[in-house]
């Protein structure tokens, strides 16, 4: 009888060790996974300036990463400019990149490779229904400059 209880005790202890080992393994994998940051997960600010309705304006905006999936990288730009006559305009844009850091060709047209302030960039353009936005894209889908033309509004946004 003592032998059976001893075997049961050993079995219970073995199962408990397996559970503890599994929990520790999960914790270690979670920790290691969180230490590897996504290089595409960046948000940054812009200074905006240009003209709106023929009047000088300036303002600011932010580009934020919206995690989609492994095949696409989606960014949302929102900004606001105030013209010298006191009017305020809001700007909302998006930027959709494929997994190879190119902008989605069904939406954007590749214009050229270029250099902006010593950084190699690719230049892409969205042009639909009188709205044109030109994106100067650096490493990891970072948009370093935006040129926005929409109706009587022309703006340049430079990353801060």
Together in a domain, 95 and 26? no
User: Which residues face 52 on adjacent strands?
Assistant: 55, 153
Together in a domain, 2 and 68? no
Together in a domain, 77 and 146? yes
When divided into structural domains, the chain yields a total of: 2
- Per residue in 46-72, pLDDT tens? 999 999 888 999 999 999 998 767 788
Together in a domain, 1 and 79? no
Together in a domain, 121 and 155? yes
Together in a domain, 140 and 96? yes
Return the closest-CA partner of residue 48 out of 74, 73, 82.
Answer: 82
- Per residue in 7-36, pLDDT tens? 666 666 666 666 666 667 776 666 555 556
CB 50 within 8 A of CB 155: yes
Together in a domain, 99 and 20? no
CA 44, 47, 51, 53 torsion: positive or negative? positive
Together in a domain, 25 and 95? no
Per the structure, the complete domain to which residue 52 belongs is given by: 44-159
Rounded Cα–Cα distance for residues 76 and 87 (Å): 23
Together in a domain, 48 and 86? yes
Together in a domain, 4 and 72? no
Tell me the pLDDT of the chain averaged across its residues. 84
Identify the pLDDT of residue 58.
Answer: 94
Together in a domain, 140 and 120? yes
The CATH number that applies at residue 111 is: 2.40.128
Together in a domain, 25 and 77? no
Identify the pLDDT of residue 129.
Answer: 84
């Amino acid at each position: 009888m003592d032998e059976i209880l001893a075997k049961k005790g050993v079995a219970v202890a073995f199962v408990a060790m397996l559970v503890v080992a599994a929990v520790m393994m999960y914790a270690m994998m979670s920790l290691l996974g969180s230490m590897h940051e996504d290089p595409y997960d960046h948000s940054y600010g812009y200074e905006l300036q240009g003209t709106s309705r023929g009047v000088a304006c300036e303002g600011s905006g932010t580009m934020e990463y919206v995690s989609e999936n492994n095949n696409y990288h989606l960014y949302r730009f929102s900004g606001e400019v105030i013209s010298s006559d006191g009017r305020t305009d809001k700007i909302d844009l998006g930027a959709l990149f494929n997994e190879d850091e190119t902008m989605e060709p069904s939406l954007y047209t590749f214009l050229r490779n270029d250099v902006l302030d010593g950084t190699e960039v690719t230049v892409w353009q969205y042009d639909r229904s009188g709205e044109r936005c030109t994106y100067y894209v650096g490493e990891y889908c970072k948009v370093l400059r935006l040129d926005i033309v929409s109706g009587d509004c022309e703006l340049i946004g430079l990353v801060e």
